[in-house]
Structure 1
């Protein structure tokens, strides 16, 4: 379009064209059009993701251009939205609504011990965010979003965000002022909000909150681009041949299961603390894979005692400041033989304006949460290179694999002794 065309007109034209193309693609593949109907499953085939990305960014920009500055700030600063989500999750309201059915404000109020006018007030706030709907006056029904909230893992995450993450997030600036540039896990916003307790302290002493934290972390599998099922596609694992992989910080073997069931030539040793392995590990491993997956109690910072051609780390560094991430890398050195590989699956933070804005906003929001919990962070490529060099110059970054539509890359590092 001409250079003097108003931006809102350009955006409207782009949105109109992209919507038509998106709908054409969905119809051709027999897929439903996006909807808030509770039966809608918001998954999109790979060939429409670029169209969807451009639509999300253009529609957000148009929406924000049409708001005045105060309303833009309010959109991003609204505390009440999270409070409403917390209420819906904490009272488990989505579980009260039968699939395809409805329930009255009055019935919900009776179940949760609140007056009808109180529950109506809260839930109509939720409806303004397309969480729940009111198909007829006084009746509550599902949307696709509230149906998703009925998933126990997602419900747990929502509770964790409202009851644990949010109070700590309000102390980010206080922590930065109190401990400038700190990388220590006991000098964080979380510590300020929890009477001096770190995340590890809370997990060790408060079982209910530890469960919420576990649910919050488990919900990452539902974030597009993070799902464990994508692991076999993000690297050429078959090229490793008959390889033994040490999965450092492998918890209960979720990654090991995905790798061994897809690549018959691989065997995996899962290393982690007894607590993270669920008391010794193996509970999740199918019988047919038990001879190819073993568990070994091993603390993350302890010197590596297992010699192998490949060491795999999935999301092991992002929660840690550089001085602690360096310790993990250095701990591997005693067992490394020339040519050994370290495969690090983690976020390679994009530069500004490189990925679609909606994805960038998500990644930067997660990045801030990592600072809240333990002064960790997502790293840019130059920061990954600096980390490897600081740990030991013999760690050589060979390649960075960042598959399309995946938020996690794989850094391929070779030990060149």
Structure 2
């Protein structure tokens, strides 16, 4: 709940707006693999020129390499990632390519990394032996070696010299507690629920929220893991402040954060000292009417984890306190039609959609139409 609010009524993560340009091949066009190689070469050259002009290091797997390209390079990132993926997949045989996409074995080493906090054992900027990791985790050394060398095949950790383990830019993120929690939740909850659904795999008729509500450790893995979304472009909580020109119209917003009592416990400690009295936390049930009136009600990443029945129930709960001119802002992922965005992003979004279904029985809505009043109709 915010006082007061902007005029926009819906926001979509910026990542969805990088629309892919399509090229129609002429009858005399070169073989596809030659076209792709040329596109990759041209796009990579342009990308490096852009990075050099901005003083940004060229991407590498070095531990201290930047984890994200600048926004000005996103269109080139899209072009290169789609072209390299297509070239890679064209040159693979069908069954091995299907095996690559199935990726079930990947979760074995990822689960071990999260469960045993292996990234924390590897010193920043240094290296440690397989034997030392085995001693710290209580696993057999040959098991550690097998697990970590599999992870290394995915660029997670590296073996700079025989028998020694060091970080890459990927594995260093696993030292962040909330990234490790996200990794562990995916491995221990999401992986199991992927083909059967959370309730079935847990042999219960209760929802994920009811189950986790009785298990503090599992609930905290989910709660902490949500912060890992800050590393997905367009999903970071800090980016909400950039979606609207808040400062232009509203100089001193007052924020009331409503969530389950367990979710907001201790949250006051993270409020910056320069915002005294402007951020307040209140325990609140999602299907209950807000206790206070506000000018803006912001729902961020809420409806995608609920079915239509409950999404409507959440919205109806706001009616008793809505005053004239109040706005409801919804920031959820909106699915676009295949081909509207780069394929690598489309794959990511569709994976998120299936995960929302398997874990929460939710879904990401797609744009169906825009009515004469400019309002989105979702399916």
Q: TM-score range by the shorter chain?
A: 0.7 to 0.9
Q: After the TM superposition, which residues 8-407 of structure 1 pair with which residues of structure 2 at under 5 Å, given as runs?
A: 8-171=33-196, 189-196=197-204, 197-238=206-247, 241-242=249-250, 264-278=251-265, 282-382=268-368, 398=374
SS of the residue 2:318 aligns to: helix
1:35 CA displacement: 0.6
Q: Would the alpha carbon gap of residues 287 and 124 (structure 1) be closer, same or farther in structure 2, given more than 3 Å must change? A: closer
For structure 1, which runs of at least 5 residues remain unmatched after alignment?
172-188, 243-263, 387-395, 401-410, 412-417
Residue 281 of structure 2 aligns to a residue in which SS?
strand
Q: Any conservation in 2 of the 1:305–1:334 contact (CA below 8 Å)?
A: no
CA apart distance, 1:88:
1.8
Deviations 1:267-312 (A, max 9, x none): 2233333233217x63322333232233344322123453333222
What TM-score comes out, normalization by structure 2 length?
0.86
Aligned 8 A contact 2:180 2:225 in 1: no
Q: Rate the CA distance shift 1:53–1:99 in 2: closer, same or farther, 3 A.
A: same
Following the alignment from structure 2 to structure 1, what is the Cα–Cα distance between the partners of residues 104 and 67? Answer: 26
SS of the aligned residue for 1:276 comes to: helix
**RMSD (CA atoms):** 2.2
CA contact (8 A) 2:82 2:343 kept: yes
Question: TM-score, normalising length from structure 1?
Answer: 0.79
* 1:130 Cα offset (Å): 1.0
Q: How far apart, CA to CA, are the structure 2 residues paired with 1:109 and 1:369?
A: 33
Single out whichever of 268-277 and 195-204 deviates more from structure 2: 268-277
Partner of 1:177: none
Q: Which runs of 5+ in 2 are unaligned?
A: 1-24
Distance 2:157 2:256 in 1: 45
Q: In 1, Cα distance between the equivalents of 2:150 and 2:280?
A: 50
Is the 1:269–1:295 Cα contact (8 Å) retained in structure 2? yes
How many residue pairs are counted as aligned between the two chains? 351
Judge conservation of contact 1:38–1:144 (CA < 8 Å) in 2: yes
What is the rounded CA distance, in whole Å, between the counterparts of 1:153 and 1:302 in structure 2? 29
User: In the alignment, is the contact (CA less than 8 A) between 2:51 and 2:57 conserved in 1?
Assistant: yes
Q: Using CA pairs below 8 Å that are at least 6 residues apart, which structure has the higher relative contact order? A: 2
Q: Say if 1:132 and 1:142, in contact at 8 Å, map to a contact too.
A: yes
Go from structure 1 to structure 2 and tell me whether the alpha carbon gap of 1:210 and 1:64 turns closer, same or farther (over 3 Å shift). Answer: same
Relative distance call for 1:146 and 1:272 in structure 2 (3 A) is closer
Deviations 1:371-397 (A, max 9, x none): 1122111111238x79xxxxxxxxx97
Distance in 2 (CA, whole Å) between partners of 1:276 and 1:91 is 25
Q: Distance in 1 between matches of 2:278 and 2:177?
A: 31
For the Cα contact (< 8 Å) 1:102–1:141, is it kept in 2?
yes
Deviation beyond 4 Å, 4+ runs, structure 1:
396-400
Find the counterpart in structure 1 of residue 8 from structure 2.
none
What is residue 390 of structure 1 aligned with on the other side? none
2-side partners of 1:398 and 1:331: how far apart?
Answer: 24
Give the Å deviation of 1:145: 1.1
CA separation of 1:68/1:228 partners in 2, compared to 1, >3 Å: closer, same or farther? same
